Chains A and B, each alone.
Chain A
């Protein structure tokens, strides 16, 4: 190691900044991942963990992950943008996922999707202005027996008709309002 590197070593400082951008739990999780061999192979797992907490992958978090795992930021960004599962924007309070798998499609999922976009006034991948709903299309939730299927957060609605959409959305809007009041 040359002297120049030694003198400008700010590793601890950088590390502290990175750790501050994440929760202690995630930092500990990453510290655990780094112990094994082939550290980079843990990247996707770590990103899942980060998204699980924040709901999306922000630039600060991605930088921090790159720093703590010691992989280039470009690689983290590359992976985060490649996989559909990772979101780079904050999401709404309720995530509405419309299944566009084959079984749902032949049973009319497209009309459900159209109606949802119309009722919410957003396209797929967008969030409503009141930050209440995010709408996304998913590929097969594996519950083809109930097609067509819409999932809101963890709750699965099966055999959905377009006319039920306003009612279902209304329920969540009301729920949010009541939560606000309380």
Chain B
């Protein structure tokens, strides 16, 4: 054990704590505003300014503003949290300037809850909330069901269920702590007390002493901080959050992404301190291997093995790269992680660098993410200032520095050899492997490339134990996966769930299902290289292997929900358009194959499909898949193959019957005015850009189908549902 390292780290912790206690004394009211790209786009910066102004004019010194990254609840942003000492944390949704002003006047100053504006509108304002861990390793311990026991005992004790709310949650993450076997962890809010409960007696004591009399039951209190405690303390009452399991996103929405102190407060850099104090890179590799962490960028290659292979090849120089070139349309996990918790990614990178003996590190970030770039720059500078980067890190003798390199909008640069070329300042084209980067990568030296999310997992894995991390996931894949849930879904946002969670849980329970009562048709995973999983396979557990079997891939984590209005041929065309556009042009199968596939798909959606088009598509797809040089080409046909496999009937309807059952493909639909419903308001005629609607005021109108350009504007503007799309 290197005591210098431990002492240096301890020094950082003590200093951070001292500064935080000064900035946030116990009796202070905190107003928390998110600040990631998505939050800002929704207007978070204006909200911040409004609060700043309000605090200034109120003259109150005991109210502070606190900036965080994003929680991942995109569709409800900007989210504002109000933390009054001794009161339950309250989160407001879709706040704008006016609402911010009201919240400040009524809630912060007046102490009056504005129920209508609260996130997910809770039905009551309880005095206490008891969050009971209901996950596989925890939940069923006390008398079969801890939640049930709590409810029963609460009734016996005669406490009002509206005043004390019992909430069953997914994994609270307390399994990451050392504790007695067969105990369930419960979190009591607003006091932020964690109890380890084992017997019915424990439950009655908590109810009697704490919930009734307000005295903490000291001997049941857990003294160790769990991985998610901070997160659940803030967001545990919201279903969208409490069914998740947060490891990579553990600090997102909790800490200020620009504050090293706050990161350190939540066990930040503890893993690095431990690793450097131990001084054994092989131990790190063993831990990561044992945890069964697989690369989160899409390929799913075991991270421990990658590190081991690289380490074997290192002679003098070696590089560690972080792939933050998140080019998948519909995926924003990496952006959010970099914007909300950049330090954890940096810590993961330094640990990885130490494990493989890297001498230099590079962040390769999309230029489209200016805020993420600023936050990493800031985080790197902070780390340098505090001896966490640069020469002799924490006094251990190990040196590593990180630099940022920008991408410039090429999807193919997510492929590792293309990424290396791009860092070298070349066109981002891939090359044949082997040699793999582990052998010969950047400037011909051994190179490790990992994804943002992979790095973000590393510190948590080491602090809370490889055993625990492995247990969280499935047999072959440890930990969690973050998904960017978007498309036809009620709660758009970032969702992190344990490997092996079913798609149904993610889409229906966390995501809130498909809005407007429409039927779910399928879920697209893995971005342009992935496939579509039809509704009947919703109970499939999510894992690298299970998704692969269904013709899709895990990919980096985009999850787009499609409903009955989405045409599968059109979706396949969309993805092939993307791949064809992004093909770097180096190898023929990908360059020409995607082009020809696109032509066939365009023909089909234009109503000019030929009888053998499906077979042609399949043949071409297999060719592109087998003969392409890199991952982009190899995966490009996936959307086509998986839609043909699961939705063949739709292709056939387009080709043989010339109909699009989802009424999406322009060439195959037509518009008609329903004479019975039309009141002759002339709205459609006035809005028609092709001047093809005729009719007299107060009499049914008519569309000239020969002139109609099918823009659908009449359909949109009609207030009487009189325009039909056929």
| A contact residues around B487 at 8 Å (CB) | 102-103, 106-107
Interface members, chain A 136-180 (any B CB < 8 Å):
138-147, 149, 156, 158, 161-163
Contact between chains at B327 and A145 (CB < 8 Å): no
Partner of A42, one of B411, B425, B429, B711: B425
Q: Which of B429, B524, B578 has the most CB of A within 10 A?
A: B578
Consensus secondary structure, chain A interface: helix
| A contact residues around B288 at 8 Å (CB) | none
Name the residue of chain B whose CB is nearest to the CB of A106: B487
Alpha-carbon separation in the docked complex, A71 to B427 (Å): 14
Alpha-carbon separation in the docked complex, A36 to B41 (Å): 37
Known A48-B406, A78-B427, A146-B74: A156·B41 in contact at CB below 8 Å: yes
| A contact residues around B426 at 8 Å (CB) | 40, 75, 78-79
Alpha-carbon separation in the docked complex, A101 to B331 (Å): 9
B410 within 8 A of A: yes
Alpha-carbon separation in the docked complex, A106 to B425 (Å): 35
Contact between chains at B425 and A44 (CB < 8 Å): yes
B409 within 8 A of A: yes
| A contact residues around B527 at 8 Å (CB) | 102
Known A48-B406, A139-B578: A144·B425 in contact at CB below 8 Å: no
Q: Which of A79, A103, A114, A143 has the most CB of B within 10 A?
A: A103
Contact between chains at B427 and A84 (CB < 8 Å): no
Alpha-carbon separation in the docked complex, A86 to B37 (Å): 22
Name the residue of chain A whose CB is nearest to the CB of B327: A139
Contact between chains at A41 and B405 (CB < 8 Å): yes
Q: How large is the interface on A (under 10, 10 to 19, 20 to 34, 35 or more residues)?
A: 35 or more
Contact between chains at A85 and B74 (CB < 8 Å): no
Q: Which of A118, A143, A146 has the most CB of B within 10 A?
A: A143
B42 within 8 A of A: yes
Contact between chains at A103 and B422 (CB < 8 Å): no
9-residue interface stretch from B176-184, B648-656, B712-720: B712-720
Alpha-carbon separation in the docked complex, A43 to B406 (Å): 10
B493 within 8 A of A: yes
Interface members, chain A 84-107 (any B CB < 8 Å):
84-86, 100-103, 105-107
Contact between chains at A84 and B408 (CB < 8 Å): yes
Contact between chains at A163 and B717 (CB < 8 Å): yes
| B contact residues around A102 at 8 Å (CB) | 329-330, 486-487, 524, 527-528, 558, 560, 574-575
Given contacts A107-B487, A143-B332, A145-B42, could you give 12 more A-B pairs where the C-beta distance is less than 8 Å?
A38-B443, A41-B425, A44-B405, A44-B408, A103-B330, A103-B487, A103-B492, A105-B329, A142-B38, A143-B74, A144-B484, A145-B75
Chain A positions near chain B (C-beta within 8 angstroms): 38, 40-45, 47-48, 71, 75, 78-79, 82-86, 100-103, 105-107, 111, 114-115, 118, 138-147, 149, 156, 158, 161-163
What are 18 A-B residue pairs whose CB atoms fall within 8 Å in the complex? Answer: A38-B425, A75-B426, A83-B410, A102-B560, A103-B487, A105-B574, A106-B562, A107-B487, A138-B368, A140-B327, A142-B332, A143-B41, A143-B42, A145-B42, A146-B38, A158-B41, A162-B716, A163-B713
